[in-house]
A and B are shown apart, each in its own frame.
Chain A
Amino acid sequence: MTDAIAISNAQLRFGETAALDGVSLTIPQGTCFGIVGESGSGKTTLMRAVLGLQKLDQGEIRILGKPLVHGRAALRERASFIQPIFQDPAASLSPRSRIRTLMNEVGTVLREPHAATHERLAVILGRLSLPPGVIDKYPHEISGGQARRVAIARALLMKPSILIADEPTAGLDVSVQGDLLNLLQDIRRSQNITLVVISHNLAIMRLIAENAVVMRAGNVIEGGEVGSLFGSPQEVYTRDLLAAWPSIRAVNTKG
């Protein structure tokens, strides 16, 4: 089976800084792939390159076997099978249009009657515990957590085969976070979607991803099957990341 995403030797410099310094990785179809690393390590730049929003200086990206082509037509075609959930939900919501307008656009792109789109939307909103009335609001009228879920609902509405989520749970309450992750897990099981999750939440990454890579300064410094990657990390940096995780320490029931 062709890989969902194959990146070989991706290089990109912003002035003096190497944002991507020869990144190579392959993401098999139908799996969840994690990209871990702190800000400035190149995670988001890599995501933007895969979406075709950022040209590489060197290297190649293949999506479902086909080389990534730049240009409006190619970008539009890609939208039907690869969808992003941006870190900043405001980036995917226009401040000047109601959420309904945004969702209707999905129907237009998919050439689907609005009634059918809204039928699917109702199910997705329910799963994300968003009130149905949310679609008549403007982005500034909803809370940050709601905006994030709206952005996720929009991405899911496109029925993509690859979903790339940049910090999908940052800033969400534990309970809402659980809801969202269960939904993503559900979608993976029922629709055989490829999920790429960029996050520094290692605890969650361990549980949802099959494979993951750790990035630092534009490089993949370590990668592999999640169980062994987090179970016995080889790199000092990966161990530091794991050690920095605030954990609920087990309490001594007698003391």
Chain B
Amino acid sequence: MAISLRDLSVDYSLQQGTAHALRGVSLDIKKGEMLGLVGESGSGKSTVAFALMGLLANNARVTLGTATIDGKNFDLTKRNATAALRGRGMAMIFQDPMLSLNPVFTIGTQLGEVLRRRAPGSDRKTRVAMAEDALAKVKLSNPARRMNQYPHELSGGMRQRVVIAMALLSEPALLIADEPTTALDVTVEAQIMREIIGLRDRVGCAVLLITHSLGLVTEYCDAISVLYAGEKLESGTVKAVQRQPGHPYTRMLFDCEVPIDRERHADASQNSFTVISGDLPDPRRRPPGCIFNGRCDVSFAECAVVNPGDYPVGDDAGHSARCLRLATP
């Protein structure tokens, strides 16, 4: 097991009180596998990434949580707990590549910086060669020319490739990709996902893909974890979860996806879309019972009182969900 995260809990102190962004979230990613972490906005999925990277905002506090990365243990409640891993053991791809690239330095300079940390003592020529090689590996056209270009001279897809090349150079044990393709076209999205998979296979790292697109998860991931209002509701292999969603929320999320071959009403104005009615609960005051109770379509009286444990779903090992209907009496 390459990466494991245990009981991560994060609070944000706000003017109106303390918001509990994450409550006891645990994740496991095997070496060489990709885990899709899905959830709506406000579910806390980016907070997981920021807590791991040590990039949380000043008003955030990790109240509980440990991580095991590449055989080493980290107490995430300590500030900068994973600082030693940044640029060496862990890499992150953001939704907006401009967040990772400095506008005033050339691509070559920025890739060189990664290598100075990764391979200290190497001479400049070697670093340039390694950087160009990485750019070629992520299929960026004309690598030698790109080295002398600035980020603004590249398109969104090309910038994202540069960031992937950067991650490739740091040879991470864990790669976190936070909505890496949301800002890109579908055709470019497919290419970028292929490059991320290429990186994973080349380096053999674990990948945490944070997304709200179930399409991406079912197409590219090995395992899936579903996050809702700061709590993990279900996890398992993509195949098992897709075949038999254990939690009503997971099932509803899958129902909301619009397949490209969905049956179409001849009068286009009659086509309607599935929604999950209701809103996320207030992150400052967790309602008792199941966190999804207010929006669930199959809840019963006990759901408002008992906070469900993590029950196994079906006979697939590692597939579990937090729903009382799965509890065997």
> Contact residues of A with B, CB < 8 Å?
32, 38-40, 129, 143-145, 170-171, 173-179, 181-182, 185, 188-189, 200, 202-204, 206-210, 226-227, 230, 240-242, 244-249, 251, 253
Contacts and interface: CB of A to CB of B under 8 A. Distances in A.
B254 A173 contact: no
B120 to A, nearest CB: 39
Interface string B267-290: 011111111100100000000000
A207 B271 contact: yes
**Most chain B CB inside 10 Å of its own CB: which residue of A174, A175, A208, A230:** A174
A226 B268 contact: yes
A249 B273 contact: no
A248 B214 contact: yes
B273 A38 contact: no
Given A145-B41, A246-B216, A241 B260 contact: no
Contacts of B257: 174, 248
Given A178-B275, A185-B269, 18 more contacts: A32-B268, A173-B212, A174-B40, A174-B214, A174-B256, A175-B253, A178-B273, A189-B269, A200-B185, A207-B273, A208-B269, A242-B260, A244-B190, A245-B186, A245-B260, A247-B215, A248-B254, A249-B219
B148 interface: no
A209 B41 CA distance: 27
15 contacts: A38-B186, A38-B188, A39-B155, A39-B156, A178-B256, A178-B274, A178-B275, A179-B275, A185-B269, A203-B262, A206-B264, A244-B186, A244-B189, A246-B215, A248-B214
Interface in B244-266: 252-254, 256-262, 264-266
A208 B259 contact: no
Given A244-B186, A244-B190, A248-B215, A143 B41 contact: yes
B268 A210 contact: yes
Given A178-B274, A178-B275, A244-B190, A251 B242 contact: yes
Contacts of B259: 203, 247-248
**Most chain B CB inside 10 Å of its own CB: which residue of A206, A240, A246:** A246
A226 B270 CA distance: 14
B248 to A, nearest CB: 13
B268 A209 contact: yes
A209 B267 CA distance: 9
A207 B185 contact: no
Nearest to B156: A39
A124 B210 CA distance: 32
Contact of B273 (A40, A129, A182, A188): A182
Nearest to B253: A174
Nearest to B262: A207
B100 interface: no
Nearest to B186: A244
Given A39-B156, A181-B273, A253 B185 contact: no
B149 interface: no
B182 interface: yes
Contact of A253 (B187, B212, B220, B243): B243
Contacts of A200: 185-186
Contact of B186 (A173, A181, A189, A241): A241
